[in-house]
Structure 1
Amino acid sequence: MNIDLKQWSADLGAQFEGLQGRPPGQWPLAPRLLCAAGMMALAIVFGYFVYWQGQFEAQEAGAAQEAKLRTAYQKKIAQAVNLEALQAQKVQVDQSVERLEKQLPSKAEMAALLSDINQAGVGRGLAFELFRPNQPVVRDYYAEQPIDIRISGSYHDLGAFAADMAHMPRIVTLNNMSLETNKDGSLTLEAIAKTFRYLDPEELSEQRAARLKAKAGGKGGKAGAKGSKKAKGAAK
């Protein structure tokens, strides 16, 4: 079957002639099909940007949320499966913390501990030239008590004193140590002995209150700064 393309294109072009002023229902077939295709494309584009795009974005957000919830669910399932092991681990951690807390004296026991440190040096035949407790440094859950010490004695007695500090039932450390040789051959040890104690309930309450106050002050300062910026902007 031979098709005359030239004649076919001429007939197709003739269908688009004289359309002005005629109702679309009276147009030839080709213009009506082209107009319908254009209206369909316009409706699809308009519907996508006005209606479907939001639904697609909501679907993607829901899929991401679903993946996140699945991951959280799997983690919780793993924790539930290992619940007994985690509980046993928590008991071990609590026991370790309790043992460590027993090595820290209370506020009332600090005087006895300072006396034990002094007696440890005297018992080794050392002469204390300085034994000065400084102001305690309060941390989040414990207090650090530094003590400036200067003691004189033989090398072996000083070494035995340092070993006694390490073997005390309470935690005592020697820091910033320096040795000097005296004219009589003895040594003078200068150091900062540090011991630690746990905070009593009142001190813990004060620490928590101070942290909350500091956080509130920081937020208030930021709010004040924002307010001042807004005021300056309004003034301008």
Structure 2
Amino acid sequence: MKGSGALGNARGIDFQRLAQDFKGLNPNEPGTWPLAPRVAVFAGLLTLTLAAAWWFDWREQAETLKQREAEEVQLRQDWVAKKKEAVNLDEHKRQLAEIDRQFGALLKQLPNRAEMDSLLSDINQAGLGRGLQFELFKPGADQVKDFYAEMPIDVVVTGGYHDLGEFASDVARMPRIVTLNNVALEATKDGRLKLNAKAITYRYLDEEELARRRQAEKAAKGKKR
């Protein structure tokens, strides 16, 4: 039994019959067209409809969906991070308290302006107590930083090798922070050693100095504008 229409028979598609079906079609009476043209038109209309729907509607929805998926991933990551912070909140508080304690201990090692004379005297006495001879002990101008100031002191002192070493150790062990920088040693004619160094000590700024610094910074920002 043979199949009807141009779509095929038992052996395959009859391309001649298929071509004939597309000839002489009346556009005003598509209902009278053979099956093949009607299927082709329907497939074309369906394709155009799907393409139009994608371009004018579905494409934007797909982009929105992709954006929402990315936002969901980010929100999940933020949630996990905040959950970890919440779990470790007590540990963070403990660490913060420890940092505050350590900072307070370091701050106590910085003298205020009124205590600087006493500190300079302690450094001088540390050298004299070791039998050293000061050729120069000259404090310089303060170098103001964020909340503290550095005071450089040019030091030239002579004495024996071990005495100079003990002097450096005494300075390092002082309750106030004092550092020795740019250290240089040279031998003298009498066989002793001369130590050239720049000692630096630190002090914290009092409220008046901090207020002046804030005012100067505010004025500098105003000029930049």
Shorter-chain TM-score category?
A: 0.7 to 0.9
With 18-27 and 63-72 compared, the bigger mean Cα shift is at: 18-27
Amino acid at match of 1:155: Y
Q: Which residue of 1 aligns with 2:102?
A: 96
Whole-angstrom distance in 2 between the partners of 1:179 and 1:155: 10
Whole-angstrom distance in 1 between the partners of 2:69 and 2:216: 43
TM-score when scaled to structure 2? 0.83
Aligned partner (choices 121, 130, 133) of residue 136 of structure 2: 130
Aligned partner (choices 15, 22, 29) of residue 16 of structure 1: 22
Q: Which residue of 1 aligns with 2:217?
A: 210
Q: Does 1:186 align with 2:192?
A: yes
Whole-angstrom distance in 2 between the partners of 1:96 and 1:108: 24
**Paired residues of 1:107 and 1:199 also in contact (CA < 8 A):** yes
Instruction: Provide the aligned length of Structure 1 versus Structure 2.
Output: 218
Q: Which residue of 2 aligns with 1:227?
A: none
In structure 2, relative to structure 1, the CA distance for the partners of 1:141 and 1:35 (3 Å cut) is farther
Q: Which residue of 1 aligns with 2:82?
A: 76
Q: Percent identical across equivalent pairs?
A: 46
In structure 2, relative to structure 1, the CA distance for the partners of 1:17 and 1:211 (3 Å cut) is farther
In structure 2, relative to structure 1, the CA distance for the partners of 1:216 and 1:86 (3 Å cut) is farther
With 136-145 and 166-175 compared, the bigger mean Cα shift is at: 136-145
Matched residue SS, 2:113: coil
**Over alpha carbons, which structure has the higher Rg?**
2
Q: How much does 1:161 deviate? A: 1.0
The runs of 5 or more residues in structure 1 that have no matched partner are: 221-236
Whole-angstrom distance in 1 between the partners of 2:18 and 2:177: 101
The runs of 5 or more residues in structure 2 that have no matched partner are: 3-8
Q: How large is the RMSD of aligned CA atoms in angstroms?
A: 2.7
Q: In the TM superposition, what whole-angstrom CA distance separates every residue of 1:120-139 from its partner, at most 9, and x where no partner exists?
A: 22222222111122222333
Q: Does 1:174 align with 2:190?
A: no
Q: After superposition, where does 1:141-160 map in structure 2 within 5 Å? A: 141-160=147-166
Whole-angstrom distance in 2 between the partners of 1:55 and 1:203: 61
Choose between structure 1 and 2: higher helix proportion.
1
With 94-103 and 74-83 compared, the bigger mean Cα shift is at: 74-83
Whole-angstrom distance in 2 between the partners of 1:216 and 1:50: 54
Amino acid at match of 2:101: Q
In structure 2, relative to structure 1, the CA distance for the partners of 1:198 and 1:26 (3 Å cut) is farther
Q: Which residue of 2 aligns with 1:37?
A: 43
Matched residue SS, 1:109: helix
Q: Does 1:113 align with 2:125?
A: no
With 100-109 and 169-178 compared, the bigger mean Cα shift is at: 100-109
Q: How much does 1:178 deviate? A: 0.7
Whole-angstrom distance in 2 between the partners of 1:132 and 1:96: 32
* Runs of 4+, deviation exceeding 6 Å: none
TM-score when scaled to structure 1? 0.80
